[in-house]
Chains A and B, each alone.
Chain A
Amino acid sequence: MKKQTKTEELAFEAAFAQLEEIVGKLEAGDLALDDALALFEQGQKLAAHCSARLDEAELKVQKLSASGAVELFDLDEVP
Chain B
Amino acid sequence: MRQMNLFSSPLPLTVGDLTRYIREMFEVDYRLQDVWVEGEVSGVTRHASGHTYFTLKDASAQISCVMWKTVAPTYGALVVHGGQVVAHGQVSVYEARGQYQLYVDRVQPKGLGDLHAQFELLKARLEAEGLFAPERKRALPEFPHCIGVVTSPTGAVIRDICNILARRWPLVEVILAPTQVQGKDAPPHIVAALDALYRRADLDLIIVARGGGSLEDLWAFNDERVARKIADSPVPVVSGVGHETDFTIADFVADLRAPTPSAAAELTTPDRQEMSSQLAALRVRLASALSDDLRARRIALQSQTRALSHLSPQARLANLRQRTDDLISQATWTVSHLLQLRRERLTGASARLDALNPLAVLQRGYAVVRRDGRLVRSVSQVSRDDRLAVRVSDGEFDVTAS
Most-contacted residue by chain B among A19, A23, A59 (CB, 10 A): A59
With A26-B289, A40-B286, A59-B172 as known contacts, state yes or no: A78 contacts B272, CB within 8 Å.
no
Of B39-47, B151-159, B365-373, which binds chain A? B151-159
Cβ-defined contact, B158 with A57, below 8 A: no
Indicate which residue in B172, B279, B290 contacts A40 across the interface (CB closer than 8 Å). Answer: B290
Cβ-defined contact, A20 with B289, below 8 A: no
Q: How far is the CA of A36 from the CA of B291 in the complex (A)?
A: 10
B285 at the A interface (CB under 8 A) = yes
From 27 to 79 in chain A, residues with beta carbon under 8 angstroms from any chain B beta carbon are 27, 29, 31, 33, 36-37, 40, 43-44, 47, 50-51, 53-54, 57-64, 68, 70, 73, 75, 78-79
Cβ-defined contact, B285 with A23, below 8 A: yes
Q: How far is the CA of A57 from the CA of B286 in the complex (A)?
A: 24
With A20-B282, A54-B279, A64-B175 as known contacts, state yes or no: A13 contacts B143, CB within 8 Å.
yes
Cβ-defined contact, A63 with B293, below 8 A: no
B5 at the A interface (CB under 8 A) = no
Cβ-defined contact, B286 with A19, below 8 A: yes
Q: Which residues of B contact A44 (CB under 8 A)?
A: 286
A60 to chain B, nearest CB (A): 5
Cβ-defined contact, B172 with A64, below 8 A: no
With A29-B296, A47-B279 as known contacts, state yes or no: A62 contacts B171, CB within 8 Å.
no
Q: How far is the CA of A36 from the CA of B292 in the complex (A)?
A: 11
Q: How far is the CA of A28 from the CA of B358 in the complex (A)?
A: 102
Cβ-defined contact, A78 with B145, below 8 A: no
A75 to chain B, nearest CB (A): 5
Instruction: Specify the chain B residue showing the minimal Cβ separation from A76.
Output: B159
Tell me the dominant secondary structure on chain B's binding face: helix
Indicate which residue in A13, A20, A37, A54 contacts B142 across the interface (CB closer than 8 Å). Answer: A13
A68 to chain B, nearest CB (A): 6
B297 at the A interface (CB under 8 A) = yes
| In the complex, per-residue mask of B163-199: 1 if CB is within 8 Å of any chain A CB, else 0 | 0011001111111111000000000000001001101
Q: How far is the CA of A70 from the CA of B176 in the complex (A)?
A: 9
Instruction: Specify the chain A residue showing the minimal Cβ separation from B288.
Output: A27
With A12-B171, A73-B153 as known contacts, state yes or no: A62 contacts B293, CB within 8 Å.
no
Instruction: Specify the chain A residue showing the minimal Cβ separation from B273.
Output: A54
With A16-B279, A36-B290, A64-B177 as known contacts, state yes or no: A57 contacts B171, CB within 8 Å.
yes
**Could you list 26 examples of A-B contacts with CB < 8 Å?**
A12-B171, A12-B275, A13-B142, A16-B278, A19-B282, A19-B286, A20-B282, A23-B289, A27-B289, A36-B290, A47-B282, A47-B286, A53-B171, A54-B275, A54-B279, A57-B171, A61-B162, A62-B174, A63-B178, A64-B176, A64-B177, A73-B176, A75-B158, A78-B153, A78-B158, A79-B154
- A residues contacting B by CB (< 8 A) are 11-13, 16, 19-20, 22-23, 26-27, 29, 31, 33, 36-37, 40, 43-44, 47, 50-51, 53-54, 57-64, 68, 70, 73, 75, 78-79
Q: A51-B276, A73-B176 are in contact. List 4 more A-B contacts (CB 8 A).
A: A54-B272, A57-B169, A57-B171, A64-B177
Smallest CB-CB A-B distances: 10 pairs: A26-B289, A13-B143, A59-B166, A57-B170, A59-B170, A57-B171, A61-B174, A40-B290, A43-B286, A63-B176
